[in-house]
């Protein structure tokens, strides 16, 4: 071990244990992120422009949970380890072993929002804007759980805060999970909070577009420090070595920029009758 490397803290992956019942940090991160995000969405629903009712936010919690878990797991299976799960299909259901894809979860939540808003007659973009403002909360807790699990570590480096991860070999690495927690969680939350304070939700779609583009920039930047998935490695694209996370984020970046441009040109939406 290099002299200046910080040893990885010996975290117990189990957060709470009641006899044979165990709740891991990974699962707890999803639970806490969903609950705090739900409460934050209720707070936003009470703020102008009042395009979404509290009852709709309450009822969407179960839909959001299914969208995150099913979409995230299916996305991981399809995007990151399809060959493995073809040979071991039963393990695709072992979500407690970890392995979730944000991009898959985003597709799952978007599908849930589409179905829910159509069923309830709620404006799609106005509802999506509120949900998007809360997503960085879940991303923050998810990345912290990645760090506690000692997974998704960074590339080899000699920075003073480098860490030696248990499964990452003897060389010090970037604690890239913490970088992503800061960028995808804290900084993205603050960006959307500023947009909220400036009345961006009066033009439905701006906040959603800022979230998509902001997440894409944060993820693509974070991937510069994160070790690529061992089963995929770097993917050559036009002479550059990209990662799967960067490639999957590119459509989000382009779509987010377009959505902000499109929504900003539309007239402000009126509040729903209470």
The two beta strands, 21-24 and 240-242, are unpaired
What is the domain extent for residue 50? Answer: 26-66+120-264
**Taking a C-beta distance cutoff of 8 angstroms, is the pair 216, 259 a contact?**
no
Rg (CA), the chain: 20
Domain count, the chain: 1
Task: Please report whether residue 134 resides in a domain.
Answer: yes
Residue 272 pLDDT: 66
Residue 193 lies in a domain: yes
The answer to whether residue 115 sits within a structural domain is no
The pTM of the full predicted model, rounded to 2 decimals, is 0.90
Does a structural domain hold residue 49?
yes
Within-domain flag for 110: no
Residue 195 lies in a domain: yes
Residue 36: the pLDDT is 97
Closest CA to 205 of 268, 144, 119: 268
Q: Check residue 256 and give its pLDDT.
A: 98
CA-closest candidate to residue 4, choices 169, 164, 154, 178:
164
Whether residue 111 lies inside any domain: the answer is no
Contact 148, 25 (CB under 8 A): yes
CA dihedral 235, 96, 141, 53 (to 10 degrees): 110
> What integer pLDDT is reported at residue 1 of this predicted model?
45
Q: What is the pLDDT at residue 9?
A: 87
Q: How big is the CA angle at 139 (ends 115 and 268), to the nearest 5 degrees?
A: 55
For the chain of 274 residues, list the mean pLDDT of each consecutive stretch of 10.
70 81 84 95 94 94 92 85 81 70 90 96 96 96 91 92 90 96 98 97 97 97 92 84 92 97 88 64
Length of the chain: 274
Residue 87 lies in a domain: no
């Amino acid at each position: 071990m290099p002299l200046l490397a910080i040893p990885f803290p010996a975290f117990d992956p189990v957060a709470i244990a009641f006899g044979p019942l165990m709740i891991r940090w990974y699962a707890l991160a999803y639970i806490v992120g969903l609950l705090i995000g739900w409460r934050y969405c209720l707070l936003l629903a009470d703020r102008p422009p009042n395009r979404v009712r509290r009852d709709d936010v309450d009822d969407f919690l179960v839909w959001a949970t299914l969208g995150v878990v099913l979409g995230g797991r299916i996305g991981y299976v399809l995007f990151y380890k399809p060959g493995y799960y073809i040979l071991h299909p039963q393990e695709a259901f072992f979500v407690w072993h970890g392995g979730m894809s944000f991009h898959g979860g985003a597709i799952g939540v978007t599908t849930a929002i589409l179905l829910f808003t159509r069923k309830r007659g709620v404006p799609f973009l106005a509802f999506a804007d509120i949900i998007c403002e809360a997503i960085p909360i879940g991303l923050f807790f998810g990345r912290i759980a990645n760090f506690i699990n000692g997974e998704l570590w960074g590339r080899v480096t000699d920075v003073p805060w480098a860490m030696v991860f248990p499964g990452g070999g003897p060389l010090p690495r970037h604690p890239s999970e913490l970088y992503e927690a800061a960028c995808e969680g804290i900084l993205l939350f603050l960006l959307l909070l500023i947009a909220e304070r400036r009345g961006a939700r009066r033009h439905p779609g701006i906040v959603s577009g800022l979230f998509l583009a902001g997440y894409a920039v944060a993820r693509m930047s974070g991937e510069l420090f994160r070790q690529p998935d061992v089963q995929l490695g770097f993917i050559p694209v036009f002479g550059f070595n990209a990662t799967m996370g960067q490639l999957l984020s590119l459509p989000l970046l382009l779509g987010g920029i377009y959505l902000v441009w499109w929504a900003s040109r539309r007239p402000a939406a009126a509040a729903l009758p209470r």
